[in-house]
Chain A
Amino acid sequence: MDSANWSDGPAPHFLAPAVTRSAKIVVAGAFGVGKTTFVGSVSEVTPLRMEEPITEASVGVDDLRGTPNKTTTTVAMDFGRIHLLGDRLVLYLFGTPGQTRFRPLWEGLTEGALGAVVLADTRDLDGCHEVLGLLEEQRTPYSVVINVFPDAPRYPLEELRQALALDPGTPLTECDARDGRSCVYALITLVEYLTTRHAPASLVEPRS
């Protein structure tokens, strides 16, 4: 097998030479909630796709041979990036599907992440609980952002906060995932929250 036969596709977009730091934020949410749209609205490159095959136990299948029934699923993650501070810093945004069965994938994703933006759709708030549960399990701080779909019902944020059982300090805002500015504001809200959580230093949760 010769690697030269493998097509490596178009040349990648290289980072600016001035980059001296990188950071990542996870954009999580249920299927179809607008994660890739959000990432694409902020990113300076068209969102790129990574695919990770994961093995999972089949659910609801009787196994008569006594061997564990495993299937392989490919999980797609779309991501984008943006240079900040005169190209010294590059911020990566990873759109991540929120299902518990993708837990193995999450460990590599949330490790070192600043935090997560959880996108929610008022027509499917239940789809959010799984994502919030996963983030809490991994002790990744998050904000919740309602992606305002034109045909989705609007509710007062206080009602949504109760429906999602959010901590009083957890930011809950609205955005239009198609609008870059709106998405940047959502990111600012998250990072502001993260910085306030950080101080005073003595109260930061112990590292495990």
Chain B
Amino acid sequence: MINFVIINIAHTPLIFFFHLFYLRFRKNKIKFVYLINSLILSLIINFINLIIFYNSSILKIENIIIIITIQISAFLIYVEFFSMICRGFSLRILTDVYINKTVPKNKISSIYSSDKGYDWLLNKRLDSITNIGLIIREDYYYKLSNTGRVVSQISIFTKKILKLGKGGE
């Protein structure tokens, strides 16, 4: 069983390599569907290799569940990592300070993301949640959609239970 688990874990970097292929050779880079495709391809290669090295009798229901579980776990870790690289707030602050070598404390917000600043950050976030339908833009107002309302209720409830404060700080 340990060997079987190790072989499956060894296949998990395929998610990263397939996703890297998409990012380097596709125009529209940040698409969730590329991540899902990478997971599916990784699973397929994983299954094929197991059938070649063992035989098809390895594909009992429990083993299939284990393979899928390991791949999904690795996928979620990679998604979190990729999200941090693309959208990580703290990481971007560190990068901006690094690029500028030293920064006055009160200027950090203005140099954020190569001098784009706070307004750009807020607008970018609002645009992305508008695009996925969680909020609706009506004239000068931002309004929660029905889905956005539910998501927000869950978020507020979870923050209360886990004592996370207001979040996003």
Chain A partners chain B = no
Residues of chain B whose beta carbon lies under 8 Å from any beta carbon of chain A: none
Residues of chain A whose beta carbon lies under 8 Å from any beta carbon of chain B: none
